[in-house]
Structure 1
Amino acid sequence: MGIGAPGLLFRYKDYRRDGADRQQIMTLAIEEFIRRFLLHVLPRGPQDQPRARSRTAGRRPTSR
């Protein structure tokens, strides 16, 4: 919804409630919002990084 003095305001649905009470408004500090957002975006745990290999990896020296 927007950014205010106390933090970030946004709307969400509480599926445990019925009727008009289902729509709720939550205020989070910006740091907490970013933390929760990154939980959904970033992969879990350490990821394998591609190994930096030289351009000649896999080539055999040619005999002269």
Structure 2
Amino acid sequence: MSKRYTAEFKRDAVALALSSDKTVTEVARDLGVSPEGLRGWVKQATVDRGEGPSGATNSRSPRDQ
């Protein structure tokens, strides 16, 4: 069974992963989340910032943009 995390928690986890000298796996372990989950959040945040691959879909709704 998977846990649900708030958008704020995910945003903070992504920021930590991107700013840390630690690997994503180490950051995930420190936060108590799966490394695969954190990698997915980082990837989605990159796409949401417009830095992802061509044709990638962002997760924000049109009203959020």
Q: TM-score, normalised by structure 2?
A: 0.29
Q: Which has the larger radius of gyration?
A: 1
Q: Greater strand percent: which structure?
A: 1
Q: Greater helix percent: which structure?
A: 2
